[in-house]
Chains A and B, each alone.
Chain A
Amino acid sequence: MKKFLRENSLGLAFGLLFLVVLIGEAVAGHADFNQRQLSEGLQPISFDRYVTSASFAVDVTENWQSEYLQFFLYIYLTVWLLQKGSPESKELHKPGRESDENQMVGAYATDTSPAWAGASGLRHALFSHSLGLVMGAIFLLSWLAQSITGVAAYNEQQLGKLEDPVSWGQYLLEPDFWNRTLQNWQSELLAVTSMVVLSIYLRQRGSSQSKPVGAAHAATGVEG
């Protein structure tokens, strides 16, 4: 058990932090929602009602979609794009899909390779892109969920202002949808840009996301 915890501590810690923060968001969001209800002369709602509401769902999914978009783009763009000196980049002579030998696929698969790495055809193609495909699919699904929950939350506000609700198609053209979307995209892209560039010159001793402290600034594709 102790060994399992140590060998999986990264995933477990982030999973636990995710749950704690999600609960915190629900508690804070519930309080915020009810403050607005009371200020408008309306009734506060229960916690159960809030966590199943469109208001909570759109606040959650608008962040999810941008995170998965970030990883999807990062996974695909780092196949081709390089950053000299960054541990986030591949070495400068390796842009592109690389050779089968380098990727340990087909005839170069080893005994410990996943079964589909040694397969051919569709299974090989799917497994070779599975990380990006799954991230991209979760991005699209969470963005769709944002639009569906977003239109319901937006329409609740519309009725509260004594205005007409809009259809899902109309909502996709509303500033509310694009403001929620783009404010998340810009922050994710800034964070990635910062990581790519700052990791050229700065170090975090012992971190897999940093070059070794003594590595040259020009050293590329080297992780600690």
Chain B
Amino acid sequence: MTGRGDAAAAVAVRMLTAITQQDGAGACAALAPDTAAELEQSADKPCVEAILDENLPAPGPVSASHVYGQWAQVRLSGDTVFLAVFPGGWRVVAAGCTARGDRPYDCLLQGG
């Protein structure tokens, strides 16, 4: 993994770890703005509460991370997370994602 890939993987693991620790604020801090807004709108709750209801898996070992331009994909055992670059660094755009062949990943948590 590259330096940028490591940084993206660290943010993905930090968010999933925060959820397992019931730290909604910590998890939401790692989300992209549109993803947090979409979550609040669909759950009709503040992000810090809604994200704990999303049934995202606990972070497994990181098996790979791919970085291209402004985007990254981090693969963990049992989860795939997509991130993009924001002023504060990498932020999670989609998580809890499952591959669907040639179609886009199906994600439990996803920006609009």
Q: Is B70's CB under 8 angstroms from A155's CB?
A: no
Q: Is A41's CB under 8 angstroms from B32's CB?
A: yes
Contacting residues, chain B, for A43 (C-beta < 8 A):
70, 84-87
Kindly state the separation between the CA atoms of A165 and B65 in the bound complex, as whole angstroms.
11
- Which range contains the number of B residues in contact with the other chain? 20 to 34
Determine which residue in B70, B84, B102 has the highest number of CB atoms from chain A within 10 A of its CB, and name it. B70
- Which range contains the number of A residues in contact with the other chain? 20 to 34
Q: How far is the CB of A163 from chain B (nearest CB, A)?
A: 5
B3 an interface residue at 8 Å Cβ cutoff? no
A91 an interface residue at 8 Å Cβ cutoff? no
A109 an interface residue at 8 Å Cβ cutoff? no
Stretch at the interface among B12-20, B21-29, B103-111: B103-111
A43-B85, A162-B110 as given contacts; A153 in contact with B69, CB under 8 Å: yes
B72 an interface residue at 8 Å Cβ cutoff? yes
Q: Is B69's CB under 8 angstroms from A163's CB?
A: no
Q: Is B99's CB under 8 angstroms from A164's CB?
A: yes
B54 an interface residue at 8 Å Cβ cutoff? no
Q: Is B68's CB under 8 angstroms from A165's CB?
A: yes
Contact mask for chain A residues 17-41; partner B; CB cutoff 8 A; 1 contact, 0 none: 0000000000000000000010001
Q: Is A162's CB under 8 angstroms from B107's CB?
A: yes
Which A residues between 105 and 159 are near B, CB-CB below 8 angstroms?
152-153, 155-156, 158-159
Q: Is B69's CB under 8 angstroms from A55's CB?
A: yes
Q: How far is the CB of B82 from chain A (nearest CB, A)?
A: 6
Q: Is A161's CB under 8 angstroms from B104's CB?
A: yes
B53 an interface residue at 8 Å Cβ cutoff? no
Q: Which residues of A contact B (CB under 8 A)?
A: 37, 41-43, 45, 53-55, 152-153, 155-156, 158-165
Please, could you name 29 A-B residue pairs with CB atoms under 8 Å apart, sorted by A? A37-B70, A41-B33, A41-B112, A42-B32, A42-B85, A43-B70, A43-B85, A43-B87, A45-B70, A53-B69, A54-B68, A152-B68, A152-B69, A155-B68, A156-B68, A158-B68, A159-B66, A159-B71, A159-B72, A160-B71, A161-B104, A162-B94, A162-B110, A163-B102, A163-B103, A163-B104, A164-B73, A164-B99, A165-B73
Q: Which residues of B contact A (CB under 8 A)?
A: 32-34, 66, 68-73, 82, 84-87, 94, 97, 99, 102-105, 107, 110-112
Supply 12 further A-B pairs (C-beta < 8 A) apart from A153-B68, A159-B71.
Answer: A41-B111, A42-B32, A43-B70, A43-B85, A55-B69, A152-B69, A155-B66, A155-B68, A159-B68, A160-B71, A163-B102, A163-B104
